[in-house]
Amino acid sequence: MSATTETTASAPRHPAREARRARAAAKPPSTGAKDTTTIALRLIGTMIGGRNTAKFVIAMVLLVVAIGALVMLPYVSGQAINVVASKNGSLNELSGWVITGLVAAAVYILVSFVAERLMSRLATGATYTLQTRLAEHLQTLSLDFFDSRSTGELVSSVTNDVEAIARFFETAVSQLIRAVLQVVIIAVIMLIIDWRLAIAALLVVPAMLVITSIVERLSGPAFSKMQDEIGELSGFYEETISGHKIITANRRQEWAMAANKDRADGVFTVGTKSFFLSLLQFPITTAMSMLQIVIVVVVGALLAVEHMTQVGVIVSFIGYAGLLASPLSEIANLTGTLLQAVAAGRRYYAIMETQPTTVDAPDAAPYEFDGGHVQFQNVDFSYVPGRRILKDNSFEALPGQMIGICGPTGAGKSTIINILTRYYDIDDGTILIDGQNLAALTQQSLRRSIGTVLQEAFLFSDTVMNNLRYAREGATDEECIAAAKEANAHEFITNLPQGYDTPMIERGANLSQGQRQMITIARAMVAAPKILILDEATSNVDTRTERLIQQGLQRLMKGRTSFVIAHRLSTIRPAAKILVVRSGEIVEIGSHDELMAAKGFYHSLYMSQFKGKAPAGAES
C-alpha cells in the first residue's frame, strides 16, 4: 500500500457535514413555561453557584435576619397597642416595646445593607462571567457559524442580551429572593400568632400567583420576539453605519431612514405589547393587596367582637398584610424584567451551546513543515449539505512554487483557500501537506505555518506597531520595522503624525487602501509563514501602488509555496502552475504559456481581459 493510500485510509471522519445537517434540522427554541423556568434557574445559577455559593449563603442568612427584624415591627406595634389598651399596662412596658422596635429597625437597616452589598457583587460578577464566557466561546466557533449570522446580531447578543440579563441580576434576583423569603417568613409568623387571621390574609395569594402565571404565558413569547427584533435592528445599524459611504453615494438616505423606521416600529410594537402585559399585573396586584387588608380588618373585627382576639393582634396583622403586599407587588413588577432576561438568556445559551464544526481529531498531531508540498486528491466540499461547491478537484503544489488561481466570480477560488487553511472541513477526498493529512493536524499548528493576505486589508483600532506585532506574539519593534521596510511601508509610516505609534481608527480608515494593504503584507512578513496565501491582494489599488505592493509580495513569496488568487491575470502570469476554476471544478492546470497554447477557458479569460491584445511581452 502506498503512503498516500495509508494516509487517506487513516484520516478521521469529517465532522462538518454532520454538524451542518444537525444545525439545519434543529428545531426553534421553546418558549413555554418549563423552558422559561429552566433558563431563569440557569441564569440564577451563574450568579449564586460554584465558588459564589458561600457568599450567597452568607447573604441569605443576613437576609433572613433582616427580614426577621422587619417582621418584628408589626408584632411590636401590636404589643404596644395591647399595652396601651390594657388597664394594667405601664409606661415601662410600653417603653420596652418601643426600644425593641427601634432596635429591630436598626438591625434591619444595617443587615440589609450588608446583604444587598453582597448580592450586588454577586450580580456584577455574574454579568462579567456571562460576558467573558460568550466572548471566549465566540472565539472557538468555526467560520460557518459567523457565515450564517450578521455581525449586528452577534453584537446584539454581546451587548443587548447581556445587558438585559445584567438588569435582571442587578435589580430582580435580590428583590425576588427577598420577596419570596419575606412572604414565607410572614406567612409562618402569622400562622403561629393566629391561624384564622393568617388564612384570611393569605386568601389572595393564590389569585396573585395565577395572575403572574397568566401574564408570563402571554408576555413571555412577546419578550422573546422583542429580543429578536432588537437583534435585527442592531444588525441593520451595523450594516448601514459600515455602508454609509455607499448609502450616500447612491442617495439612499431616505431608504435607510424608512428601513430603520420599519424595524424600529417592529421593536416598538412588540415591546409595547410585552411591557403592557407585564405592567398590567401591577394595578391588579395593588388592588388585590388592598383587598387583602380589607379582609384582615373585617375578619379581625368579627373575631374581636367575639373576644377571640385582641386589638393589638389585628393591628399586627394589618401591618403583616402590608408587608405581604409589598413583596407580592415586587414579584409582579419584576415579571417584565424576568421575562426579558429569559428571552435574552435563550439567545445567549443558543450561542453557548453551539459547538465548532471544524475540530481537531482526538489524536491530531502538530504540522511538521517539510518544504510546503501540497496535494489535493479528489476533494469535494459544500457549505450547505447537498449543494457541492467544489467537485472532485485534484492538483499538486511543489515546495516553493507559486500557484495561481483564477476563474469567474463565484467559481470556488476562495473556497479552495478556505479548506486549505482548514476554516472548513471537506466532505470527501484528501488534502495532504508535506505528506500529512490536513484533517489529522492541529488547526493551531497549521495556521501558524500559513500566512494570509486578503483583498480587504483589515486593521485593528490600535497603533501601526501593534497591528504589525499582531501577527506574532513577542515580535520586537526592530522585527516589525524591518518587515515594514521589506513591504515598502516604512516610508509612509514614518511620515504619519506619530510614526509607528499612530493610532488607526476602525479598519484603518485613516489610511489609503494601498497603505493598509502594505501594512497587512508587512504583518504577514512579521509572522514569517511557511506557506503563503494571497487573495486578490492587489485588486483595489492604483498602478503605482500595485508595483510597490508587488515588490513587497515578491520578497514575501520568495522561497515559499504560495497560492495567489487574482482577477488580474497578469498578476499570476509568472506562476509555475495556474489553476483555472469554473463552477467548482479545476478545468485547466498549467503554466501561462501552456494554457495560452491550449486555447481553452484560460485563453478566453485572458484575451477578454485584454480585449484581444496581450500586454507588452505577452504571448497571444
SS3 annotation, 31-82: CCHHHHHHHHHHHHHHHHCHHHHHHHHHHHHHHHHHHHHHHHHHHHHHHHHH
Distance in angstroms (rounded) separating the CA atoms of residues 492 and 504: 14
Please say whether the beta carbons of 602 and 588 come within 8 A.
Answer: yes
- 428 with 550, same domain: the answer is yes
User: DSSP character for 160?
Assistant: I
- 307 with 200, same domain: the answer is yes
49 belongs to a structural domain? yes
- 222 with 95, same domain: the answer is yes
Cell of residue 399, nine digits: 515546495
Whole-number Cα distances in Å, 559 to 489, 528, 555, 562: 21, 12, 9, 9
- 507 with 570, same domain: the answer is yes
103 belongs to a structural domain? yes
- 342 with 382, same domain: the answer is no
Q: Which amino acid is at 345?
A: G
Q: Which amino acid is at 529?
A: P
pLDDT score at 331: 72
Please say whether the beta carbons of 537 and 521 come within 8 A.
Answer: yes
618 belongs to a structural domain? no
Question: Which of 322, 352, 382 is the last residue before a domain boundary?
Answer: 352
- 491 with 395, same domain: the answer is yes
Count of domains forming the chain: 2
Task: With H, G, I as helix, E, B as strand and everything else as coil, classify residue 533.
Answer: strand
Distance of CA 612 to the CA centre of its chain: 51
φ, ψ dihedrals at 116, nearest 5°? -70, -35
Cell of residue 436, nine digits: 500529512
- 343 with 386, same domain: the answer is no
358 belongs to a structural domain? no
Please say whether the beta carbons of 418 and 371 come within 8 A.
Answer: no
Task: With H, G, I as helix, E, B as strand and everything else as coil, classify residue 410.
Answer: coil
Question: Which of 304, 320, 352 is the last residue before a domain boundary?
Answer: 352
Please say whether the beta carbons of 152 and 238 come within 8 A.
Answer: yes
pLDDT score at 8: 36
Distance in angstroms (rounded) separating the CA atoms of residues 339 and 345: 9
Distance in angstroms (rounded) separating the CA atoms of residues 61 and 119: 12
Please say whether the beta carbons of 450 and 531 come within 8 A.
Answer: yes
Burial of 449 (0-12, 13-18, 19+ CB in 10 A): buried
Distance in angstroms (rounded) separating the CA atoms of residues 475 and 479: 6
The whole-number mean pLDDT for each consecutive block of 10 residues of the chain, a chain of 620 residues, reads 35 40 41 71 88 90 89 79 70 82 89 90 90 88 81 76 86 84 84 81 74 65 68 68 64 74 73 65 69 75 75 76 75 75 88 90 91 93 88 93 90 90 91 93 90 81 87 87 87 90 80 84 87 77 71 82 87 91 92 93 87 43
- 268 with 157, same domain: the answer is yes
Distance in angstroms (rounded) separating the CA atoms of residues 38 and 345: 10
User: Rounded to two decimals, what is the model's pTM?
Assistant: 0.71
Distance in angstroms (rounded) separating the CA atoms of residues 342 and 351: 14
Please say whether the beta carbons of 484 and 478 come within 8 A.
Answer: no
**Tell me, what CATH number does 416's domain have?**
3.40.50.300
544 belongs to a structural domain? yes
Q: Which amino acid is at 273?
A: K
- 318 with 445, same domain: the answer is no
**Tell me, what CATH number does 183's domain have?**
1.20.1560.10
- 131 with 249, same domain: the answer is yes
Cell of residue 576, nine digits: 509555475
CB neighbours of 276 closer than 8 A, spacing ≥ 6? none
Please say whether the beta carbons of 522 and 484 come within 8 A.
Answer: yes
4 belongs to a structural domain? no
Burial of 28 (0-12, 13-18, 19+ CB in 10 A): exposed
Helix H or strand E segment including 5:
helix 3-9
Place of cell 452589598: 117
Distance of CA 113 to the CA centre of its chain: 34
SS3 annotation, 164-208: HHHHHHHHHHHHHHHHHHHHHHHHHHHHHHCHHHHHHHHCCHHHH
On the CB side of 532, how many CA atoms lie within 13 Å of its CA?
30
Domain with 124, as residue range(s), is 31-352
Please say whether the beta carbons of 518 and 495 come within 8 A.
Answer: no
Please say whether the beta carbons of 158 and 134 come within 8 A.
Answer: yes
Cell of residue 39, nine digits: 433558563
Task: With H, G, I as helix, E, B as strand and everything else as coil, classify residue 472.
Answer: coil
Whole-number Cα distances in Å, 278 to 210, 334, 539, 592: 14, 8, 55, 70
DSSP β-ladder status, 436-437 and 428-433: antiparallel
361 belongs to a structural domain? no
Task: With H, G, I as helix, E, B as strand and everything else as coil, classify residue 379.
Answer: strand
Please say whether the beta carbons of 525 and 483 come within 8 A.
Answer: yes
CA-only gyration radius of the chain, Å: 35
In sequence order, the β-bridge partners of residue 432 are 375, 437
- 348 with 460, same domain: the answer is no
In sequence order, the β-bridge partners of residue 379 are 393
Distance in angstroms (rounded) separating the CA atoms of residues 1 and 564: 34
Place of cell 510614526: 499
493 belongs to a structural domain? yes
- 252 with 387, same domain: the answer is no
Place of cell 388592588: 287
φ, ψ dihedrals at 579, nearest 5°? -95, 120
Angle (CA) 606-609-613 rounded to 5° is: 80
Name which of 610, 599, 586 is nearest 403 in CA terms: 586
